[in-house]
Chains A and B, each alone.
Chain A
Amino acid sequence: MKHLISLSLTCLLWLGHSPAQASDMAERIKPCEACHGDQGRAGPDGYYPRLAGKPAGYLFNQMQNFSQGRRHYTMMRRMMDPLSAEYQRDMANYFANLQVPYLSPTTRSVSLNNTQMARGKQLALQGDAALQIPACNSCHGENLMGNTAHVPSLLGLPSAYLGAQLSAWSLGDRTTLAPDCMGDIAKRLTAADAAAVTGWLAAQNVPTQGGAKHPTRLATQTRCGSAPELHGALQ
């Protein structure tokens, strides 16, 4: 009888364990929500990027980049510096598994004229061979929603944030593990092209959640240290 009681108590404890851990992680990431919004769905001010549903590998890489000085933002450095890589990975996995609705495109876009929109669309979906700029969707997923462990979606982000990232990359202020493919591409983009492509991306509707992700067409000449899977390496 004693055994039965202790066994059932253990079972109860065990049953209580998983949900307790999940809700506990929600408590542990509270500091992130101050800027990245409730459950990491995006900041209310049209700048801070969404974390929910981003690939865990990408999120983890960014946390490491901030704490190791490859990407610069005082607040993120202060937040990430004290944390171990294991804890950062836990947080990345937590956010990667969150499925929460996107905000509407009006909260993040800027108005561009038709010529600019057309140029933005061209860069995103076809690239510009003359300028050696691959199409965004050659790595970021056919539907630009990202489809590998380390490559993020480009839709559902504010144009202010996207533009700031491209300019940080072109200035060498945002870097990643070498070879830094995005740094190379951003340096080839003119300011006008960067504005066109980020404006177009921000204005797109986010495809409905849950659908199977489309495979990525690999950009043959692009080498990315942060996403080895793009070259056929194991994910």
Chain B
Amino acid sequence: MKHCSPTCKWLASFVTTTLLTLSAWVLWDNWGRFIHSVDAVTMSATSDSTDTITRGKYLAHIGGCVACHTAKGGDNLAGGRRIDTPFGAVFSSNLTSSKTNGLGDWTENDFASALSWGRSRSGRLLLPVFPYNHTSVFTPDDVHALFSWLQTVPAVEQAQPTHQLTWPLGTQPVIAVWRSLFFSPSPFKANPNESDAWNRGAYLVQSAGHCATCHGQRNALGSFPAVDDVSGGFLSPQLWLAPSLTDATQTTLSTGTLNDTAHLLRTGQTQHAHASGPMAEFVQYSGQYLTSTDALAIATYLKSNLKANSRTSTPSNGTLATSSPAAQALYKNHCASCHGDNGEGKPHIYPALASNPAVTLTQPDNLIQMALYGGYGPSTAGQPRPYGMPPYLFTLNNQQIADVLNHIRSQWGNQAPAVSPMQVDRARAAHY
């Protein structure tokens, strides 16, 4: 600063002022409202009737609270489940009525503040792995129901494990800046021009369903997608694609009936489509608990969001898949006995590969996952004993898997970009 010219001095004070202003804004944005009570939440007048508690339990199941806050083989809602993100592993918190480790000491206002503002009772900002953009959509009545039920969950004394995030990720200043950039509460706004079913579907998709968490687009900083963004996303450490629910060519939403979609959400399959990967997990832990009315409402809302086919007009980059005699032989030996000589599948048992949107997605990640690891659909009330697919991880090499996938992506009217052995190798190495 010794030889600083007037311009340089001006510049220095400008930068300092800007930084201070931004810091003040971030501070106010994240903690300012905390000085005053959270006025967005009005205490519900409803008493803790059995109905309220039952509704809370229902919401906690379809919303995945139980799924994420219960470790594998662990006590219900005692937390500790590991969740892998592109930024490291985090562990869910204890939601039981334990006073030391859970929510036993919380007031309903504390809980409402966590759901609508993403802030813990102590004022600590919560990691956005907890999708509080979606929980901020909940009506005060539903927040009350959730809290009422959680208070009935038997206490389990289990502390939350330490997250495995690289410093400074996960620190309060970083979360604060991130939140100022990507989070603002979005209470539900009903559309009076639409039906009750549509509005119920919209509410569920944007709140408990938190569909955008996977089906929405995030930027490189892992931003929260808009709560109604279901234009497609990618789960990066797991390497699964969440197809766009607005593009008619990517799912069976456009070709299936509302009942088909509702059935898929509740049982994990329809006559032709099968849920797999993270979607199967959703059905297993959440979707199967949906009432048929709510599942139909979700289907109604999602179907109304479909946009006219946009993909055929966009030229795909990369060459189209083609078959070869070797690929055809692989298909005959390994796939045809279940999926049929012409990719027709077996209704309700093995999915068809002909005219199946999951087969012709531009990004072949899900198809590669299935070919490598196979696996079963979820056991649900509607399909308690699903059939499964053998893994080909040890049977076929990368080239062979790419060949056989290119075969099914180029036959029976299917047309999709070619799969390369490198893409197969990437999924093999990820080992999730």
A→B interface (CB under 8 Å):
27-28, 30-31, 33-35, 45, 64, 67-70, 74-75, 78-79, 81-84, 86-87, 90
Interface string of B420-432 (1 = CB under 8 A from A): 0000000000011
> Which segment, of B24-32, B92-100, B372-380, B406-414, faces chain A?
B372-380
A31-B384 CB under 8 A given contacts A82-B379, A83-B379: no
A75-B391 CB under 8 A given contacts A31-B374, A84-B379, A87-B385: yes
> Which segment, of B141-149, B170-178, B311-319, B392-400, faces chain A?
B392-400
Q: What is the size, in residues, of chain B's interface with A at 8 Å between Cβ atoms?
A: 29
What DSSP secondary structure best describes chain A's contact surface? helix
A70-B391 CB under 8 A given contacts A34-B374, A87-B384: no
* CA gap between A83 and B432 in the complex, in Å: 18
Contact of A75 among B387, B388, B393 (CB under 8 A): B393
Chain A residues with Cβ below 8 Å from B394 are: 34-35, 45
Do A79 and B387 have beta carbons less than 8 Å apart? no
A34-B392 CB under 8 A given contacts A82-B375, A82-B376: yes
A70-B375 CB under 8 A given contacts A27-B387, A31-B391: no
* CA gap between A37 and B214 in the complex, in Å: 36
By beta carbon, the residue of chain B nearest A69 is B72
A78-B72 CB under 8 A given contacts A87-B385, A90-B385: no
By beta carbon, the residue of chain B nearest A64 is B73
Do A83 and B390 have beta carbons less than 8 Å apart? no
Do A31 and B385 have beta carbons less than 8 Å apart? no
Chain A residues with Cβ below 8 Å from B389 are: 31
Known pairs A68-B72, A68-B73, A79-B375 / 10 extra A-B pairs, C-beta < 8 Å = A30-B387, A30-B390, A31-B374, A74-B431, A74-B432, A75-B391, A79-B376, A81-B281, A83-B379, A86-B379
* CA gap between A86 and B378 in the complex, in Å: 13
Do B280 and A82 have beta carbons less than 8 Å apart? yes
* CA gap between A79 and B376 in the complex, in Å: 6
Chain A residues with Cβ below 8 Å from B376 are: 31, 79, 82-83
* CA gap between A87 and B420 in the complex, in Å: 37
What DSSP secondary structure best describes chain B's contact surface? loop
* CA gap between A80 and B388 in the complex, in Å: 11
Do B379 and A34 have beta carbons less than 8 Å apart? no
B→A interface (CB under 8 Å):
71-73, 280-281, 284, 338, 349, 373-379, 384-395, 431-432
By beta carbon, the residue of chain A nearest B387 is A28
Chain A residues with Cβ below 8 Å from B73 are: 64, 67-70
Do A79 and B388 have beta carbons less than 8 Å apart? yes
| In the A-B complex, the 7 residue pairs with the closest CB atoms | A68-B73, A84-B379, A34-B390, A31-B388, A69-B72, A82-B378, A31-B390
A82-B284 CB under 8 A given contacts A28-B387, A69-B72, A70-B73: yes
* CA gap between A96 and B73 in the complex, in Å: 24
Chain B residues with Cβ below 8 Å from A64 are: 73
* CA gap between A82 and B376 in the complex, in Å: 7
Name the distance in Å between A104's Cβ and chain B's nearest Cβ: 22
A67-B379 CB under 8 A given contacts A34-B394, A75-B393: no
* CA gap between A64 and B72 in the complex, in Å: 10
